Structure 1
Amino acid sequence: MPTSSPPPPSSPPPAPPHPPADGLLSAARRNLRETGHALTHPSHPPTPLLAGAPRQWQRLLPYAAVLALVAIFVPVTINVLTAEYEVDAGIAGALAVAQAAPLLMLAHRPLQAWWIIFPAQILGAVVLLGVDGGQDHAWPWTPPGLIGYLFLLLALGLREQRRTLVAVWLATGAAGLVLFLVSPHRGTDNSLLMFILGAVVLVVGATVRERGDAQRRLAEQETISEAERAQRTLLEERTRIARELHDVVAHHMSVITVQADSAPYRLQRLSDEAREEFGSIAASARESLTEMRRLLVVLRSEGTEGERAPQPGLDRVQQLVEATVRAGLPAELSLPAGLGVVPPAVDLSAYRIVQEALANVVRHAPGARTRVSVSSDGAHLTVLVVNDPPPQTGSSLAPRTPVETTGTGHGLVGMRERVRLTGGTLDTGPLPDGGFRVAARLPLPPASAPSPSPSPALPPTPEDS
């Protein structure tokens, strides 16, 4: 039985064809298309130069400049063409208008003005070839035409991008080269001079424009950074307030938990339904405390620990003022002995407002005499901090070492947030004599009978903060 030969090994699959390389010809075509697009499409809207200037005379300055240029170059060009180059008056007038009148467009449309002036300059050079009086004078650029064209290039440098400027410069040099080749025997050819001066003017204009763009972007970034800094300060202050209120709320929730747990032992003859209700209240209070602790972990920054000291209140305002006086700020305090019942949130907010107001006086008006007043009419708690202007240099009240030497610049943010938290109002602002005033009005709850406190015989509760 004949044996079959093994199949020949399969050849490897052909490699996929390489994409065609981007050769020099295709790259040149692409660059030419982009250059042509740059020459025919301005890179800026037709807004006047200095349109965003703050004063009206600055916004009108470009229009006055182009009017002056046209008023100067039109008659000067006519006079030079007729007197020195012996061009017919009618042709000289037409060339002067075509070469100088479009300078009116430099303030808002310099690229469109270039499309008019550049062909007019080439046409003028061709006209000068046919006259006998221009053999011994500058060519192909007449003196007024050369200076006016440099003003045009400066306007282009201040408005257009680099690709457009390079294309205009190369077109100017190419036109000069072609005209030189057409008439190589002229001894006063100034096409090379225009080529060099044009490059200098374009570089100067582009440098000024790019510097202005950089300053504008820097100002925008500073504005954004300032807004972000203010927002960050606001969020940090809200976080700080939330951490402080945790202690206040946790105290009340702990009292509720202890009272609910101890109610079956303190109150006789409670029904089973009442006992279950008290147990449910205690469980809800414990769950609320747990959730607050979780929220506090999220709000607390990494690497920081919770404060273990009790939150301050109006009972420590006297100590705060005394510490400020020892630091060199003459301060007076008016605090009545009996303010009535002040809620913990209002008590803490009032203390923080006084603290921040005194810190601001130390930072911004060191040595200024300051008056702190806390009063209550039963419905509202009023906190008033007023400081005089800072003392003059050499005065006996000149400040010593400041309490705080740095700050974020947003000291009033915390005051506003605390007042908003309690539903009050805040009034701040400078005084006519140069001082400053901070007035906060915080609402107080209506007077009510005090709630029973837990029995002192009960075991202490764990620390909640």
Structure 2
Amino acid sequence: MIRPSSLPAPEPARGRVLRAVRQAPHLLAVELGTPTEPGTPLFGSVRSAWLRRLPYLVAFVFAVSLLPTTITLLSHDYGLDGGLSGALATAQVAPLLLAVTRPLQAWWVIFAADVVCALALIHADDVADRSWPWPPTAIVGYLALMVALSLRERGRTLIAVWLATGVAGVLSEAVAPDRINGTWVLLFVLTGVVLLMGATLRERGDARRKLIEQETISEAERARRTLLEERTRIARELHDVVAHHMSVITVQADSAPYRISGIPREAEEEFGSIAATARESLAEMRRLLGVLRSEEAERHGGPEKTPQPGIGMLPKLVEGTVRAGVPVELSLPGDRGPLEPAVDLSAYRIVQEALANVVRHAPGAPTRVSVTTAADGSRLTVLVVNSPPPAPSAPCAPLETNGTGHGLVGMRERVRLVGGSLDTGPLPDGGFRVAAQLPLSPPPAPVASPGPKDSDSV
């Protein structure tokens, strides 16, 4: 256990302030001494090609316009030697071309060149009544560099650059107080304003980009959740279809010894084993259904107990759609035979989703629903075509009982379930078409009930 007397005494507030002041130059040097790696150029992530080239064009315009202007200003107005004026002007202006990809490295070169230029102008002949320590061209180039720097570097780096600019101005006033005329204060203030505005724009752009990325992720997650929900719904509906066949197998296997006379003992045991296996399968399916329907039960207060629909219930569905304000024309095959439960249910759900989409997105549009069977009985064609909606009016309320709310996603999943194909898309006149091809397997051959001779031979 540590005694209270052994704990170090808290540092006084004055000591902490003095320590922070002593460490400030070191932290400033460290921050400015770690330039960022060259990354994506300004506007490098923009899709437009001319916008990606715009920063290079702006930097080129600044360099071409400032270089001769700076040479002329230093040599003629300030009376500096021509060779030295050209070297200093090149060092002050040429790095602007580098600022598009390496703004901090460009700042190091330009800042050093500005300081050297200020020292060289101390003993110039015609500097008495002119701007010092920063000539006008140096101020313009430095502010242009600050724009690029603020759009790329971190906040701490920007603060360090701003403070370094102020420190250079203060030192210049200490070195030659008789030459100073306040331009360093102007540059210090303008630098802070430009850096603040650029950092604000960059943070706003970063926030907007993150928001777009989050919306994209949310949209992908929403689509994935929609797909999983639709698959869960299909699984629940298929349970009812498969459970019916399993129940028939169980009843037939249990009743076989009573319906067929004279079967051997081994056959009775085999039928009993089949019935037991079928009952176990039904129990497993009911447990699986309980998991799948738990969310549905919480949402609606209980499991679904209504029979699964088929194309025989399409007239009732169309009637409800007509009441919602959508004129629908229905065409069904006249002599349709029994369909596989999965195909029958899928055909109904496809029509249901298509009509629900018409009610939501094209209220009042004339719609034609056609369900036909191929001549060879190999496939079932489901076609839903709607015309363009009439003139805008009061929107029709969508049918709450129509559709699963998953639209084309649900259609594709159901068509994929039975091995069919789906073709959807807009029409040239502004309508929309949904066409599904559902394969039909040939109906099983009827099993003849065994006669007396067959019973004796079993």
TM-score (norm 1): 0.88
Query: What is the count of residue pairs matched by the alignment?
Result: 439
Letter in 2 for 1:349: S
Q: 2:379–2:437: 8 Å Cα contact kept in structure 1?
A: yes
1:159 aligns with 2:152: yes
**Partner residue in 2 for 1:180:** 173
For residues 331-358 of structure 1, the C-alpha deviation after alignment (integer angstroms, 9 at most, x for no partner) is 1111012222310111111100000001
What's the offset of the Cα at 1:405?
Answer: 12
Where do 1:199-218 residues align within 5 Å?
199-218=192-211
**Partner residue in 2 for 1:73:** 66
1:143 aligns with 2:136: yes
**Partner residue in 1 for 2:442:** 446
**Partner residue in 1 for 2:424:** 428
Distance 1:37 1:60, change over 3 A: same
Equivalent of 1:364 in 361, 365, 369: 361
What's the offset of the Cα at 1:185?
Answer: 2.0
Equivalent of 1:355 in 352, 356, 368: 352
**Partner residue in 1 for 2:408:** 412
Aligned mates of 1:364, 1:250 — CA distance in 2:
37
For residues 32-51 of structure 1, the C-alpha deviation after alignment (integer angstroms, 9 at most, x for no partner) is 77654542444464321111
Equivalent of 1:118 in 111, 114, 118: 111
Aligned mates of 2:337, 2:401 — CA distance in 1:
37
For residues 96-138 of structure 1, the C-alpha deviation after alignment (integer angstroms, 9 at most, x for no partner) is 1110111111211111100100000000000000112112111
For residues 365-408 of structure 1, the C-alpha deviation after alignment (integer angstroms, 9 at most, x for no partner) is 111111111011211111111111112347xxx87544369999
User: After alignment, is 68-77 or 334-343 more displaced?
Assistant: 334-343
Q: Secondary structure at the match of 2:147?
A: helix
Aligned mates of 1:152, 1:266 — CA distance in 2:
97
Letter in 2 for 1:246: H
Q: Secondary structure at the match of 1:134?
A: coil
**Partner residue in 2 for 1:263:** 256
Aligned mates of 1:50, 1:363 — CA distance in 2:
41
**Partner residue in 1 for 2:214:** 221
Where do 1:274-313 residues align within 5 Å?
274-302=267-295, 303=298, 304-313=301-310
Where do 1:376-387 residues align within 5 Å?
376-377=373-374, 378-387=377-386
Q: Secondary structure at the match of 1:441?
A: strand
**Partner residue in 1 for 2:333:** 336
Distance 1:30 1:433, change over 3 A: farther
Q: Secondary structure at the match of 1:269?
A: coil
Aligned mates of 1:407, 1:108 — CA distance in 2:
54
Q: Structure 2 stretches of 5 or more lacking a match?
A: 450-458
1:236 aligns with 2:261: no
Distance 1:144 1:35, change over 3 A: same
Aligned mates of 1:64, 1:406 — CA distance in 2:
58
Tell me the C-alpha RMSD between the 2 structures: 2.7
Aligned mates of 1:37, 1:441 — CA distance in 2:
70
Letter in 2 for 1:310: P
Where do 1:48-127 residues align within 5 Å?
48-127=41-120
**Partner residue in 1 for 2:387:** 388
Q: 1:362–1:402: 8 Å Cα contact kept in structure 2?
A: yes
Aligned mates of 1:404, 1:310 — CA distance in 2:
18
**Partner residue in 1 for 2:313:** 316
**Partner residue in 1 for 2:372:** 375
Letter in 2 for 1:412: L
Aligned mates of 1:19, 1:449 — CA distance in 2:
95
Distance 1:34 1:83, change over 3 A: same
Q: 2:324–2:398: 8 Å Cα contact kept in structure 1?
A: yes
Equivalent of 1:134 in 110, 127, 135: 127
Q: Aligned residues: percent identity?
A: 61
Aligned mates of 1:270, 1:346 — CA distance in 2:
37
What's the offset of the Cα at 1:14?
Answer: 7.5
- Structure with the higher fraction of residues in helix conformation: 2
Q: 1:382–1:442: 8 Å Cα contact kept in structure 2?
A: yes
For residues 284-339 of structure 1, the C-alpha deviation after alignment (integer angstroms, 9 at most, x for no partner) is 11111111111112112442421111111111011111111111111111101222
Aligned mates of 1:346, 1:408 — CA distance in 2:
17
Letter in 2 for 1:73: L
Distance 1:36 1:342, change over 3 A: farther
Letter in 1 for 2:410: G
Aligned mates of 2:281, 2:141 — CA distance in 1:
80
**Partner residue in 2 for 1:457:** none
What's the offset of the Cα at 1:143?
Answer: 0.6
Q: Secondary structure at the match of 2:151?
A: helix
What's the offset of the Cα at 1:279?
Answer: 0.8
Aligned mates of 1:407, 1:34 — CA distance in 2:
64
Q: 1:238–1:417: 8 Å Cα contact kept in structure 2?
A: yes
Aligned mates of 1:405, 1:34 — CA distance in 2:
67
